[in-house]
Amino acid sequence: MKTITLSNSIPIPPIGYGTYKLPDSSQGAIAVAEAISLGYRLIDGAAAYGNEKAVGEGIKKSETDRSQIFVTSKLPNTERSFDAALRAFDRSLRDLNLDYLDLYLIHWPFDRACYPDWEKQNIDTWHALERIYSERRVRAIGVSNFFPEHLDVLLREAETLPMVNQIEFNPGMQQRECVDLCNRNNIRIEAWSPLARGRIFDNPLLLEIADRHQRSIAQICLRWEIQRGAIPIPKSANPYRMKENLDIFSFTLSDEEMAAIDSLPQFGNSGLNPANIDHHFSPTR
C-alpha cells in the first residue's frame, strides 16, 4: 500500500482500522494488535469511544515500531473549547500511553441549530488544535463531520487549515458538496461508515459489480472510496473480514463502473449530522 501525502507533507496510510465499539478490555487490545499484524498501519480512535486504554495496549502488544503506526484520536463533544480541548488531548495521550499523536480531529462541530455562537465556538476550539500542532505534539490536525458551512469558518479564520475531514462517506452517502470543497482546499477525506453498516449490501448495481470482479460488496465499496481519493476506515473484530477489507489494491474499478456508482441516489445513511448533535450528547458515531 502506497501512502498518501497530506497537505503538510505528512504521509498517511490509504486505509485505516476503525476502533469504534471495540471494548476497553483485553479483547479490544487483541483486536488492535491483530489488525496491525494483518497490515493495518492507520489506527482510528476517539475519546468518545471509551476504549483508548485498550487501543494503546493493542499498539504496544503488536510490538510494531511506533513510527510505523499512524494513530488518530478525536476531541470529545463535551470538551469543545480552547482550554478543555488542550486538557482532552493530554488525557488521550495518557490513556493511549503515547508521546504524540499522528492526527487529532474535532469529532463534531458546533452547529447553528444548537448554538447561536457556533462560529466562535468552532474557531476557538480549532485554535487549540493549532496550538497542539505548533508544539509538535501532533503531526497533523483536522476535523470530523464538518459540513461546508462549518468548514467555511475555518477557511476564513484559521491560521492552519485542516489536513483531514472525516465524514460519513460511502456509495449511498456521497456528500458531493462537502467532498468538492475539501478537494478544492487540499483537505483529505476520510470515510467513516465506509460500508454503511451493511445497509447497502443488497443494492443491485453493487451486487452486479461485485460478481463481475469476484469480490465482496464490501471490497467494491472500499475500492470505490479509494479511487475517489478517500481514506476508508472500516471496522471489524473478525480477522477474516479485517483481512478481506485490506485486499482492495489488486483490482481496479473501470471508469464506467465508477460513474455508475457515482450516480447512485442517497440511501442507507445513518441520519447523524451536526444539527442533531450537541455537546452534551455522545452520538453513536
How far apart CA 206 and CA 257 sit, in angstroms, is: 9
256 Cβ contact partners less than 8 Å away, ≥ 6 residues apart: none
Residue showing cell 476520510: 190
How far apart CA 52 and CA 96 sit, in angstroms, is: 5
Strands 231-232 and 11-12: what pairing? unpaired
- Whether 142 and 187 have beta carbons less than 8 Å apart is answered as yes
Residue 49 among the catalytic residues:
yes
How far apart CA 187 and CA 166 sit, in angstroms, is: 10
How far apart CA 55 and CA 68 sit, in angstroms, is: 15
How far apart CA 253 and CA 227 sit, in angstroms, is: 8
How far apart CA 151 and CA 153 sit, in angstroms, is: 5
- Please give the torsion angle defined by the CA atoms of residues 28, 39, 6 and 105, in that order, rounded to the nearest 10 degrees: 0
Nearest 5°: phi and psi at 74? -135, 145
Fill in the amino acid letter for 237.
A
How far apart CA 36 and CA 45 sit, in angstroms, is: 14
DSSP 279: T
How far apart CA 9 and CA 6 sit, in angstroms, is: 5
Strands 164-168 and 231-232: what pairing? unpaired
Q: Which of 40, 49, 104, 133 is an active site residue?
A: 49
Catalytic residues: 49
